[in-house]
Amino acid sequence: MNFLADTPRLELLRIAGIPVEVDITFALVPIFLFGVLQQSLVGFSVLVAGVFLSILLQHEFGHALFARLFGVPVGEILVGGFYGYAQMLAPPPSKLANIIILFAGPLTNGLIFLLCWNALGQPDIGLTGRFGEIDPAAWLDSRWKLHAVLTLGTINLAMLIFNLLPAFPLDGGRIYRDILGAFLSDKVATQTVALLGVIVGSWSAFIGFRIDLVLLLIGAQIAIINWSILKGPRPDEMVSS
């Protein structure tokens, strides 16, 4: 999902011919994570790189890879502050193909989470997403490694759940729209998901107001986007992921 289309960006590399760019909002990541691993510059750098790769993997090995499998050309991959954007240059051949392409992103986050969760000894997870008692693997032999895996596991679990919520422009919003579109008209399906998106965004903003400024801002943005779509849905503009 591309929230800020005109932000300054820098091309880092190309993977399979696809340019991978990072925009200025990625600077929010080290600011947000500052203090998690203050005692180790190496650990802090590894954690920031891990967040970058989590977002990049979600798109390159998720959306972009499956898009190519369905013959959909990919223009670029943009990595920003806790979000990513894979530009699709053509619509998928079918709604089923689009659902698979969209679901591939959260699925890769799920795989990264499972790797971290297994390394932590498969601890219980509370309703708030916090890990219970852990039994870390032998290679997690330092404090910064343990904190890095804990944080990456938490972030990828949050990305998995959040991206599957029924709200635009999240992957989940477009997945549910296409599923509903098999039984309803595209307009009704879009309006239904947009209504849910207003509720999801408003609730997230309310929770964020009480506990987290970042969640407040994201929730408010989602509510505004979905309210705009609800007033005048334009399904043809919801192609890219």
Residue 212: its pLDDT value, please? Answer: 72
Average pLDDT of 11-20?
A: 82
Domain extent listing, the chain: 1-164, 166-241
Report whether pLDDT(149) > 60: yes
Report whether pLDDT(44) > 60: yes
Spatial CB neighbours of 1, under 8 Å, sequence gap ≥ 6: 83, 84, 85, 169, 170, 171, 241
Residue 36: its pLDDT value, please? Answer: 57
Report whether pLDDT(222) > 80: yes
Residue 7: its pLDDT value, please? Answer: 66
H or E segment to which residue 143 belongs: helix 143-163
Burial of 93 (0-12, 13-18, 19+ CB in 10 A): exposed
Spatial CB neighbours of 20, under 8 Å, sequence gap ≥ 6: 11, 12, 13, 14, 56, 60, 76, 77, 79
Report whether pLDDT(159) > 80: yes
In the structure encoding, which two tokens stand for residue 12, read together? Answer: 């880092």
Of 76, 94, 161, 151, nearest in space to 119 by CA:
151
Residue 119: its pLDDT value, please? Answer: 95
HEC per residue, 102-119:
HHHHHHHHHHHHHHHHHH
Of 6 and 209, more confident: 209
Residue 233: its pLDDT value, please? Answer: 45
Q: What is the CA radius of gyration of the chain?
A: 18
Percent of the chain with pLDDT over 70: 86
